[in-house]
Chains A and B, each alone.
Chain A
Amino acid sequence: MDCHQAREQLNAYLDGELGEFETRQVAAHVESCQSCRHELEAYRGTRDIIRRFGPAPSPPHLAESIRIVMEKERLIPRRGRISSTISQARFPRVNRLALAATFLLAMLAGGSWFVYDNAGKFLAGKQQAKISSRAAVAEKAQKLTLENAGNAAAPPETLSMELAKAPLSSPDSGMDEDSDDSSETRRARAVSQATRSARETMALARGSAPRPAPPAAPRAAARRGFAATDSLDILVAESPSEGRASGGGPGALPAHGSGGSALAKPFTEAKAMLRELEYGGAPEGIAWNISDRFAPSPAISASRAMGADEAAPGATARSPVRMKSAAADKGVKADDKQTKPPALNIILKARSGQPHAQQQAILKQLKPHLDSGAAQIQNGKLILKMPADETLVILRTINEQQTGAASVPVPEKMLKNEIAKPEPRIVNTEIIFVSDDSAPATAVPAADSE
């Protein structure tokens, strides 16, 4: 090997990159050649300087800063949460997602319950206020009716039972929010209110003692099934002729007072008892308006009066909620016959191919009157108690609402004659809807004038 070949290999020889044979050749040449040996030492010196002073310490926290940058760019998860193998092994990604989903669902469920609970309370309060005002108006209307009849000493059951009547189909459902009063309805309501105001003024001039209004909020609570009071008193009034004997019958209430029955049981027990009474042969038409959805926790005091006259005074004092009994109604009607006010009673039959839809349409139309108590729905019948002019307007309005086969006959001549009288009577109109197509349509039935 000459010097030229050796100098080409000196750096590789210095770095130990030559093979064994080449290494021996270069080593032998360097050993014999002073110039090449000198050259080799020069390279070695340069290399040693680089090796000695070349490497520098890395900046402090360089790795830490790199991790921070990676965390900022979301290349790696933030430490302190999930950065170690152990934590990842304990909480793999799927489990973490499942945990997050579970937490989210729990929060949603809690939120929904909170909203539902508060919405229920809110609606309960709202309904209480509405029904309270409605009951006050209804009370006023009843008072006027009784005053017109000239019977100030009417039995209290009449009033209380009328007010306790539960609508066949609650007009509140889906209609409270409706504010689409038509012009006809508004006019009818205005006429009704004006007439009522005038009659109220007349009644006050006569000096009739106002009848205290029964508490309405507990009734609303019972109707809605909310626990608004500490106790609910239920009166089941039966006429002496049709009522069952005290202690008789499968679900008879225990005796209470003179001829009455009463119980003080927890809600569920009382309800079961009343149900048994109903299904065990209770008079037809009893509508137990007890809902166990929001069952009140306190006990229920239920009393049954053997006679309407006996039950009424005590019941009025302690019975904010009354349950309608058809038998009691009959008893009241029997009493009414003795002190019946001059009224025009009309019974109308209306044919409807779609009773439910028709009923809903009529309920919507009559909402103001149902609210005021001038219109009621009882046992599938629509009962109107109002002056002849208002009745005419309402019947016309109802008839206009009917479409297709449904129609309500309007005894216009009869009503107009009544309107023309100097002292028009209150018209009691009972509209019976017949869903059977075979039934005589638009038959104007018997209209008895008393």
Chain B
Amino acid sequence: MKRLLPAGQASEDQAAEDAELVDRFRAGDMRAFDMLLQRYENRVFNFTLRMLGDYQNSREVTQDIFLRAFRYLGNYRGDGKFSTWLFTIASSTCKNALAYYRIREKYKQHTAQDPEQTTEFDPVAVLPDITNAPERKLEQNAMSELLTQAIKDLPETYRKVIVLKDVNDFSYEEIAEIAGVPIGTVKSRIARARLLLREKLTQLGCLEPGR
């Protein structure tokens, strides 16, 4: 498992390396984007996984995020950090994806209520079962499953900030930039998200009551 960058190490050095890679990519070096991809692949995937709560969808959305990043990297002005810019794209992409999946879920529920529609071909039903796949081993962990469910149940605004903080280890200032909200809002949302998450985990039996 790739280790996420520890807290505080998204430092100026890393930002400088990112900026250098971005410059090389703009100069036509495709390998620079490869390096950026390797550097942020896991972080972006974890963000989408916790935001969407679905492994397969997260994989597709992660691909979409990097495709968008590739397309729009020429417009990146370099004012802020590349990571912040990338996760801004990831945030908006996840937001769109959540809206899309929400609509699709409603449609599926609607069609499932129609008895004539139930016999029709369902591409989701024929997808391979990945529950025993190696990448699902961690999700088989009970705590991970419960955490995923708990985070998924959070409102999107709280979910975003708590994932960016505790999963992706961004600072409040960076989260404020990504979410496009003041830093005080970030602070309060994080506090509220942790409170809600603690309640949820307590309900799920992950935490002892009173802790």
Using a CB–CB cutoff of 8 Å, the interface residues on chain A facing chain B are 8, 10-12, 15-17, 41-43, 45-47, 49-51, 53-60, 62-63, 65-67, 69-70, 73, 75-77, 83-85, 88
Contact = CB atoms under 8 A, between A and B. Distances in A.
B23 interface: no
B95 interface: no
A83 B166 contact: no
B135 interface: yes
Interface stretch (B75-83, B85-93, B99-107, B186-194): B186-194
Given A17-B187, A54-B147, A84-B31, A47 B166 contact: yes
A202 B171 CA distance: 120
B62 A62 contact: yes
A54 B50 contact: yes
A327 B95 CA distance: 104
Nearest to B65: A66
Nearest to B172: A17
- Majority SS of interface residues in chain A? helix
Given A46-B207, A53-B141, A58-B45, A66 B67 contact: yes
Given A58-B2, A58-B46, A59-B59, A46 B138 contact: no
B30 A76 contact: yes
Given A49-B207, A57-B1, A57-B2, A66 B31 contact: no
A90 B49 CA distance: 41
Contacts of B138: 56-57
Contacts of A73: 67
Nearest to A76: B30
Interface in B138-175: 138-139, 141, 143-144, 147, 151, 162-163, 165-167, 171-172
A65 B147 contact: no
Contact of B194 (A43, A53, A67, A77): A43
B206 interface: yes
12 contacts: A11-B191, A42-B198, A42-B211, A43-B198, A45-B198, A46-B194, A46-B197, A56-B138, A56-B144, A59-B45, A65-B63, A70-B70
Nearest to B139: A56
A87 to B, nearest CB: 10
A90 B4 CA distance: 36
The 10 closest A-B pairs by CB, nearest first: A50-B166, A58-B45, A54-B167, A57-B1, A11-B191, A58-B42, A46-B198, A53-B144, A53-B147, A17-B172
Interface of B: 1-2, 4, 8, 28-31, 33-34, 37-38, 41-42, 45-46, 49-50, 55, 59, 62-63, 66-67, 70-71, 134-135, 138-139, 141, 143-144, 147, 151, 162-163, 165-167, 171-172, 187, 190-191, 194, 197-198, 201, 206-207, 211
Contacts of A55: 1, 4, 42, 46, 167
A65 B41 CA distance: 11
Contacts of B37: 63, 66-67
B41 A49 contact: no
Contacts of B141: 53
A56 B46 contact: yes
Given A53-B143, A84-B31, 14 more contacts: A42-B211, A46-B197, A49-B201, A49-B206, A50-B166, A55-B4, A58-B46, A59-B135, A62-B62, A63-B38, A63-B41, A66-B63, A75-B67, A88-B30
Contacts of A49: 143, 147, 201, 206-207
A75 B33 CA distance: 11
Given A11-B190, A47-B194, A66-B66, A56 B49 contact: yes
Contacts of B38: 63
A73 B1 CA distance: 29
Nearest to A83: B30
Contacts of B198: 42-43, 45-46
B148 to A, nearest CB: 9
Given A45-B211, A56-B46, A66-B62, A12 B135 contact: no
Contacts of A10: 191
A60 B50 CA distance: 18
Contacts of B66: 66, 70
A60 B135 contact: yes
A62 B46 CA distance: 12
For A46, A59, A83, the residue with the greatest tally of chain B CB atoms inside 10 Å of its CB is A46
A261 B183 CA distance: 114
Contacts of A76: 30, 33, 70
Nearest to B163: A54
Nearest to B198: A46
B10 to A, nearest CB: 13
A16 B187 CA distance: 12
Max count, chain B CB within 10 A of own CB: residue among A10, A15, A66, A77? A66
A55 to B, nearest CB: 5
A60 B59 CA distance: 10
Contacts of B139: 56
Contacts of A51: 166-167
A11 B191 CA distance: 6
A269 B138 CA distance: 93
A163 B46 CA distance: 96
B90 to A, nearest CB: 13
A10 B192 CA distance: 12
B41 A62 contact: yes
B46 A45 contact: no
A88 B32 CA distance: 13
A49 B197 CA distance: 10
A69 B63 contact: yes
Nearest to A75: B70
Nearest to A14: B194
B186 to A, nearest CB: 9
A259 B171 CA distance: 117
A63 B44 CA distance: 11
A69 B31 contact: no
Contacts of B143: 49, 53
A46 B201 contact: yes
